[in-house]
Amino acid sequence: MNGLMMDVSLTITSIMQHAQQVHGDQEIVSVTRDNPRHRYTYREAFKRTRQLANAMAAWKLPRGSRIATLAWNDYRHFETYYATACSGYVCHTINPRLFPEQIVYIINHADDQVVFVDPDFMPLIEAVAGQCPNVREWVVLTTEDHMPDTKLSNVTCYERLVHGHSDQFTWPDLDEREACALCYTSGTTGNPKGVLYSHRSTMLHAYATLMPDAMGLSARDAVLPIVPMFHVNAWGTPYACPMVGAKLVYPGNKMGDGETLSALINEEGVTMSAGVPTVWLGLLAYLKASGNTVESLKRIIVGGAACPLSVMEDFDRYGVETRVGWGMTEMSPLGSVNESTAARDEYGEEVFAKQRLKAGRPIFGVEMKIVDDEGKELPWDGEAFGSLKVRGPWICSNYYEIEGASDAHSEEGWFETGDVATIDAQGYMAITDRTKDVIKSGGEWISSIDVENVATDHPKVAEAAVIGRYHPKWSERPLLVVVRAPDGQDLSSEEMLAWFDGKIAKWWTPDAVEFVDELPHGATGKIHKVGLRDQFKDYAFEA
């Protein structure tokens, strides 16, 4: 027997209606190339969104067509998000940091019809446009006065496109399962894979991120998303903020500029921000050098990579709460948030320092489990570690137009994150490794991340990586590959290996050390383990 409740679809369209009626006066502030501090209100934003929707309607694209963006965080990108998704198209956000050949691949794989481009990326577009025959138009996100010179013929100015269109538009009725956005994720091997979000998944994710122990946003917040709108929808903030009437402060192409970030925080009263560790290092360096403070800032969410404890402790001194978040493109992205700071008094300082580094507790809606090699569930005791699997209404079921089923979903109904993790009795999850990097010695797993962290703590080590190599008795044993620090050129294998005594389990200690001048790195700066294993492919231990 079904309930008797209204059959109202969860669609992004409802955000516009709510925000303009209830929070119409709230501001969106943006840094753009043509205006260092553009400001307007949600009411004006959605008025222009309707003008853009009218402009798009003239293209007569079939429902579900992909419209791409290659843009920074600013108000025009925000308008494009809503005009595409709420018109029934799919907003395909492209990461400009991908290699040009990957950008060509995903534009063609997604069959993008139109691409909205920041003027900063015109050189990139000019290089790839010839290989993207299905793109009918490149729309440059700027005013006519600021249009770059180009040899491309099918280029339009965004402001000219929008200009003169009616601000009345009847949005189509959409089913909540319809696609609204597409984002490709790039591994170290193979082509990028597309994650296709639905209106439903996006709305449920947004509700969940708003919970006090997740992002905890309200109408009194001013949010500075330093996480890019070109990757996993800036962690859902373009949806969550207008839902609650939070002010949006967009840094444009100044995401890596500590001085601009500090100015935006102080001048716009930013209370909450989100970004990867690198941007915080940049902001902290600027604050220390300039003597500036960030009085209004209450909380930051750090994700995308492990957050160094020193970053958290620096922010402690500025009165800012640091919450680690963990997620994936395949997870919309938020899976867990570490809100332990709110209870720091309950921990001893030493315990707290460890606890706050974890990836946090699953937010309601995300189920997690850790399993061993046989798929058997492991206990949540903070010690046992296994492959992390997740399940929930904002987690991808498959990749866009991929051949065959994805092996990421080998167990029915669960997504294999590719991470190895522990979960403690309070539900705090900690990543210990990537599945493909884990070392299996005598049937037991060794966490390469834990070993690497101890190695890089050595003052004479600049960088270190651990890989598993063949061993006749144990099947695999860890090999440590080290780049010596400039003033640590006398570091020996013996000194290095002695360093592990008492710091990790004896049998985790690497069997040997190899010194190299540099380690191979991937496009995002991470150590390229595949390349490293290839480099040492003939290396084998003796019995």
Catalytic residue among 330, 339, 416, 452: 330
State whether residue 63 is helix, strand or coil. coil
Among 222, 244, 287, 513, binds a second copy (CB under 8 A): 244
Residue whose pair of structure tokens reads 């491309």 in the numeric block: 152
State whether residue 52 is helix, strand or coil. helix
Q: Which is nearer to a second copy, 393 or 418 (CB)?
A: 393
Applying CB under 8 A, does 391 fall inside the site for a second copy? yes
Number of other residues whose CB lies within 10 A of the CB of residue 321? 18
Nearest-angstrom CA–CA distance, 468 and 398: 30
Applying CB under 8 A, does 219 fall inside the site for a second copy? yes
Entry field: residues in the chain: 543
Q: Which is nearer to a second copy, 239 or 250 (CB)?
A: 239
Catalytic residue among 126, 143, 278, 440: 440
Q: How far is C-alpha 302 from the geometric centre of its chain's CA atoms?
A: 10
Catalytic residue among 143, 185, 188, 293: 185
Structure tokens at 44: 């004006």
Q: Are 253 and 33 in contact (CB under 8 A)?
A: yes
Catalytic residue among 138, 326, 414, 445: 445
β-strand partners of 461 = 484
Residue 185 is among the residues annotated as catalytic for this protein: yes
Applying CB under 8 A, does 459 fall inside the site for a second copy? no
Q: Which is nearer to a second copy, 15 or 279 (CB)?
A: 15
Among 135, 395, 449, 466, binds a second copy (CB under 8 A): 395
Of 76-84, 241-249, 287-295, 296-304, the window that binds a second copy (rule: CB under 8 A) is: 241-249
Of 337-366, binders to a second copy (CB under 8 A) are 339, 342-343, 361-362, 364-365
Applying CB under 8 A, does 7 fall inside the site for a second copy? yes
Q: Which is nearer to a second copy, 42 or 250 (CB)?
A: 42
Q: Which is nearer to a second copy, 62 or 190 (CB)?
A: 62
Applying CB under 8 A, does 42 fall inside the site for a second copy? no
Applying CB under 8 A, does 198 fall inside the site for a second copy? yes
Q: Which is nearer to a second copy, 146 or 298 (CB)?
A: 298
Nearest-angstrom CA–CA distance, 155 and 260: 30
Applying CB under 8 A, does 180 fall inside the site for a second copy? yes
The DSSP symbol for 73 reads B
Sign of CA dihedral 338, 344, 347, 352: positive
Backbone angles phi, psi at 485, to 5 degrees: -70, 155
Applying CB under 8 A, does 170 fall inside the site for a second copy? no
Of 30-38, 196-204, 321-329, 480-488, the window that binds a second copy (rule: CB under 8 A) is: 196-204
Least distance to a second copy from the beta carbon of 208, Å? Answer: 7
> CA distances (Å), 301 to each of 157, 237, 296, 347, in order?
35, 12, 15, 21
Least distance to a second copy from the beta carbon of 337, Å? Answer: 11
Among 54, 84, 201, 253, binds a second copy (CB under 8 A): 201
Residue 330 is among the residues annotated as catalytic for this protein: yes
* Binding-site string for a second copy from residue 75 to residue 114, where x marks contact by CB under 8 A and - marks none: ---------------x------------------------
Q: Are 320 and 297 in contact (CB under 8 A)?
A: yes
Q: Are 243 and 206 in contact (CB under 8 A)?
A: yes
Residue whose pair of structure tokens reads 């935006």 in the numeric block: 264
State whether residue 452 is helix, strand or coil. helix
Of 413-442, binders to a second copy (CB under 8 A) are 413, 415, 425-427
Nearest-angstrom CA–CA distance, 39 and 24: 13
Applying CB under 8 A, does 123 fall inside the site for a second copy? no
Nearest-angstrom CA–CA distance, 400 and 18: 31
Among 210, 234, 481, 532, binds a second copy (CB under 8 A): 210
Applying CB under 8 A, does 5 fall inside the site for a second copy? yes
Size of the site for a second copy (CB under 8 A): 72
Applying CB under 8 A, does 217 fall inside the site for a second copy? yes
Least distance to a second copy from the beta carbon of 181, Å? Answer: 8
Structure tokens at 242: 């207008």
State whether residue 162 is helix, strand or coil. helix
**ω before 393 within 30° of 0 (cis)?**
no
Least distance to a second copy from the beta carbon of 231, Å? Answer: 17
Of 464-503, binders to a second copy (CB under 8 A) are none
Q: Are 82 and 20 in contact (CB under 8 A)?
A: no
Among 184, 280, 380, 474, binds a second copy (CB under 8 A): 380
Residue whose pair of structure tokens reads 């231990």 in the numeric block: 541
Applying CB under 8 A, does 18 fall inside the site for a second copy? yes
The full DSSP string for 272-295 is: EEEE-HHHHHHHHHHHHHH----T
Name the strand (E) or helix (H) holding 55. Answer: helix 42-57
Would you name the residues annotated as active-site residues? 185, 330, 440, 445
